[in-house]
Amino acid sequence: MAEKDKIVCVTGAGGYIASWLIKLLLSHGYTVHGTVRNPGDEKYDHLRKLENADEKLKIFKADLLEFDTILAAVRGCVGVFHVACHVPQGAVPNPEVELVKPAVDGTLNVLRACSEAKIGRVVVVSSVAAVCINPNWPNDQLVDETCWSDKEYCRVTNNWYWFSKTVAEAEAWEYAKKSGLDIITVCPSLVLGPMLQKTANSSSLALVKLLKGKEGHEQIEINLLEKIENNLRKIVDVRDVAEALKLVYEKPEAEGRYICNAHMIKSADLVEMLKTHYLNYDYPLSFVEGKDQIKLSSEKLQRLGWKYRPLEETLVDSVESYKKLGLIWA
């Protein structure tokens, strides 16, 4: 691949997945335009410390809802990874306006900017949230890329995050059909693994919750009574997600949607696996049978050449990362 073909943009550069993606791209000779809301913020210092960042990483101040700022970041690039996701702070009294509309508008702004800048390929990070909430899907059938979450079901059950991811991805495909823009979407499951950024993200907190249930006397009685749902957790390592994004970008034959999931494990079994390495944390004391037993297929991504690491490696690297950051006691 020629040097000029290795200039790409990554939106939401300071985020969990985006940070690992940028690290991977820089290590493979890419020049990266990374978009953040406030380049001067110290929370992005980890990006500047990445290997090759001095020569190959350019940070752009951009907002998904401001078209011109996105256009400035993608100009001169050959490819774009749209990883950023608009997440409102605090309570969301009106999710249609505060969550769904910005998710859709932000995605469409990125895609329109890519069309104007004549970008060759756009990889959009969606989520299994856009895939697997569908009451009409047969219970005994693996969920694959042909399955879409039922928007109306998400709405009536107040699953607004799932609804927003479904609508945003659907709008991206509609735009691709009309514009001819080369789009690929990747739908990761629960993303775990070590963190490059200093602040915890929602997926990491899902694991932290299992590790630090009974910290402090006031929480002990609450957690003794709390029963965790024994759901079938779908997990993928953040480093493997980054590899998947790079893979679908580089493979000419890549097309359509890709589910990115590595492991499926019941919550109780996940806790037992953690205990083999970390016995002294305050794990949940009991479980009730969970409702989510959906099974996902990543066969399409694997056929493209994607591989993933063992779950134990992901868990150990996650916990060690949380300890260093002070999210859990060492």
Q: Could you give the residue numbers annotated as active site? A: 165
Show the tokens assigned to 255.
């097309």
Indicate the DSSP class of residue 237: E
Amino acid at site 265:
I
- Residue 124 pairs in a beta bridge with 82, 185
CB 313, CB 202: distance < 8 Å: no
For residue 116, give the 3-state DSSP assignment: helix
H helix runs in 38-129, sequence order: 45-48, 53-56, 67-74, 95, 101-116
Residues 6+ apart with CB under 8 A from 263: 234, 235, 236, 308, 311, 314
CB 99, CB 92: distance < 8 Å: yes
In this structure, the chain runs to a length of 330
CB 184, CB 247: distance < 8 Å: no
CB atoms within 10 A of CB 214: 17
Query: What is the distance between the alpha carbons of residues 59 and 13, in angstroms, rounded to a whole number?
Result: 8
CB 223, CB 2: distance < 8 Å: no
What pairing do the DSSP bridges indicate for beta strands 263-266 and 232-237? antiparallel
Residues 6+ apart with CB under 8 A from 228: 210, 267, 284, 286, 287, 288
Query: What is the distance between the alpha carbons of residues 295 and 162, in angstroms, rounded to a whole number?
Result: 17
Amino acid at site 142:
L
CB 232, CB 266: distance < 8 Å: yes
